[in-house]
A = this chain, B = another copy of it.
Amino acid sequence: MAPQDGAVVGAADAAADAAVGTVDAAHGDGPVRFATSPDRYNHWKLMIDGNVATLAMDVTETATLKPGYELKLNSYDLGVDIELYDAIQRLRFEHPEVGAVVMRSNKPNVFCAGANIRMLGKSTHDHKVNFCKFTNETRNGIEDATENSHQTYICAINGAAAGGGYELALATDHIMLIDDGASTVSLPELPLLAVLPGTGGLTRLVDKRKVRHDRADFFCTTSEGMRGKRAVDWNIIDESVPKSQFEEAVVQRAREFADKSDRPRDAKGVTLTPVNVDYGADQISYDHITADQISYDHITIEIDRTHGVAAFTIAGPSEAPPADARGVAGQGVDFWPFALARQLDAAIMHLRVNEGEIGTWVFRTRGDGALLAAYDRLLQDAADDWLVREITLYLKRTLKRVDVSSRSLISLIEPGSCFTGTLLELVLISDRSYMLDGTLEGSNLPPATVRMTGMNFGPYPMGNGLTRLQTRLLGEPDKIEAAQKTIGDELDAEAADGLGLITFIPDDIDWDDEVRIAIEERASFSPDSLIGLEANLRFAGPETMETKIFGRLSAWQNWIFQRPNAAGEQGALKLYGTGQRSQFDKKRV
């Protein structure tokens, strides 16, 4: 599976690209754009050979997201990760035939040097945190593809893999390291930079690969890394392969994994065309975003900068679903649940990274709950179809993005809304939900209802492995059974409240005040403490590698990212590469 063997999909000419816009447009203080496509990639080459894909890292040093650093040695910034995320999504949807993906490097002697250190040193605290979160989500996506899409990722480390480079390898299911007498894998963050291997590294070492904690300690404090027999014995890698046999072994292993996949080799993929978005009058001056209304085909977002609110209105489907999986394939990206996942994903990423002061997301819906229930039924009935499976997994991942967004989530269930099944998940995870009990004076809309579907009972687990309903009703498990019996029923406020689905059900008289106070109050609190509160309250119940990465590893890393020993003017992140050594404050806390 050497790069030159496959057909190059969307081979970007990085030098040309750098001159024509993608890169330059991304430079500077403007918003971060998440939309890309293989023909615009600066950093990755995607090649397909039968049922095996190769995703080769070949970072263009100058094509950085912001100015002030160079992406040497296949080091990366958020821009590199945005392309990686795009490639992973396309492999799932556009390439049903691919059963295994080989990650490797196109640079000689280096696989990947990890997150760019100068970029980290120059970044604001919130950029570092957002960057790590997105990177973690992308890596979880690699694992989700392996486990649930049966598109298995393996890593062919054909050069040094340091820090985030090795963490990327950890996200794959099989790690092969070239034995060329020099290449190692390493997590040198602690000795070199005084921070953690924070994009999943520590957790994946001891929880996924079950490396003994004392060995992990040695490995993580040894900047030169590890190779050969000891690396295999310690389960740091799966195979150490002599240089002369490396390419052949990678091909063979990739074929083995690919041949075990149940993905259909003759199905037609769905091309991920760009997601439409309209920033209204501000679209032209997107570089200095002030857009107070953002419109996707099914989602409109109104931004209230005074109260720091992004008010989502999600429009349900306007037509009945197709009859079956073949109909879903026919609609492709226009199939409503698929379109919803893509637009919600795009909106979340934009708001997270480009609208940091907008601390509260309010969710409203409008539409026909019965239609939504029909779409959910189709997702369940056709769950065996590869594309329906992918769409459902994408909705799952997107809902998880909502869960780990550091924003207060408030759902408002009003007459005319359609919080049914898939969309009801937003209510279940919200920090607060309000459902109007009865009608609004002067409106002829019937009272609001919500509706459970089978999709609320399994297909969308949270990071903790439980459904949102299970997490919510940890203390009242008998209500889960009661809720399941209502599948398809329209539940009015009292019924929904009785089942534990809603926080408050004010009537017409109290509605405006209660909602207004909840939103204004949120804006008056310290965002830091809200972030901590929400991160602790949302994930009751069991823990998984994912909740550990987001709840524990990230919290420690965020703490360290603020400590003078790492981020201060004399901290290790700032001084790296200058030849100066940090003088650490030795106090343990």
Contact = CB atoms under 8 A, between A and B. Distances in A.
Interface string A545-582: 00110011101111110110110000010000000001
B215 A503 contact: yes
A195 B525 CA distance: 10
A210 to B, nearest CB: 3
A193 B356 CA distance: 22
A68 to B, nearest CB: 20
A364 B500 CA distance: 55
A474 interface: yes
Given A205-B537, A213-B537, A529 B189 contact: yes
Interface stretch (A20-28, A123-131, A239-247, A365-373): A123-131
Contacts of A533: 190, 196, 202, 217, 220-221
Given A207-B540, A500-B212, A562-B563, A190 B588 contact: no
A274 to B, nearest CB: 27
Contacts of A211: 475
Contacts of A503: 214-215, 217-218
Contact of A430 (B214, B235, B565): B214
Interface in A227-260: 235
Given A503-B214, A586-B308, A536 B553 contact: yes
A472 interface: yes
A203 interface: yes
A587 B221 CA distance: 34
A458 interface: no
A584 B475 CA distance: 35
Contacts of A559: 528, 532, 555, 558-559, 562
Q: How large, as a class, is the contact surface on chain A?
A: 35 or more
A503 to B, nearest CB: 4
A30 interface: no
Nearest to A572: B526
Nearest to A234: B475
A5 B160 CA distance: 73
Interface string A172-192: 000000000000000001110
Nearest to A471: B213
- Which among A190, A193, A212, A547 has the highest number of chain B CB atoms within 10 Å? A212
Contact of A532 (B356, B357, B525, B560): B560
B190 A530 contact: yes
B540 A206 contact: yes
Contacts of A522: 221
Contacts of A400: none
A560 B432 contact: no
A586 B525 contact: no
Contacts of A558: 559, 589
A473 interface: yes
Contacts of A500: 212
A526 B194 contact: yes
Given A431-B217, A526-B190, A536 B565 contact: no
A67 interface: no
Contacts of A480: none
B213 A529 contact: no
B527 A565 contact: yes
A475 B238 CA distance: 14
A431 B219 CA distance: 11
A307 to B, nearest CB: 10
A330 interface: no
Contacts of A552: 535-536, 551-552, 555
A209 interface: yes
A584 B196 CA distance: 28
Contact of A527 (B125, B541, B562, B587): B587
A407 interface: yes
A412 to B, nearest CB: 13
B556 A407 contact: no
Contacts of A556: 531-532, 535-536, 555
B526 A584 contact: yes
Contacts of A562: 559, 562-563
B196 A529 contact: yes
Contacts of A474: 206-207, 210
Interface in A248-298: none
A527 B584 contact: yes
Closest 3 CB pairs of A and B: A210-B475, A194-B526, A543-B543
21 contacts: A126-B589, A129-B589, A202-B536, A206-B474, A206-B537, A207-B474, A214-B503, A216-B537, A217-B431, A220-B533, A526-B563, A526-B582, A527-B587, A529-B566, A531-B589, A535-B552, A535-B556, A542-B542, A558-B559, A558-B589, A559-B559
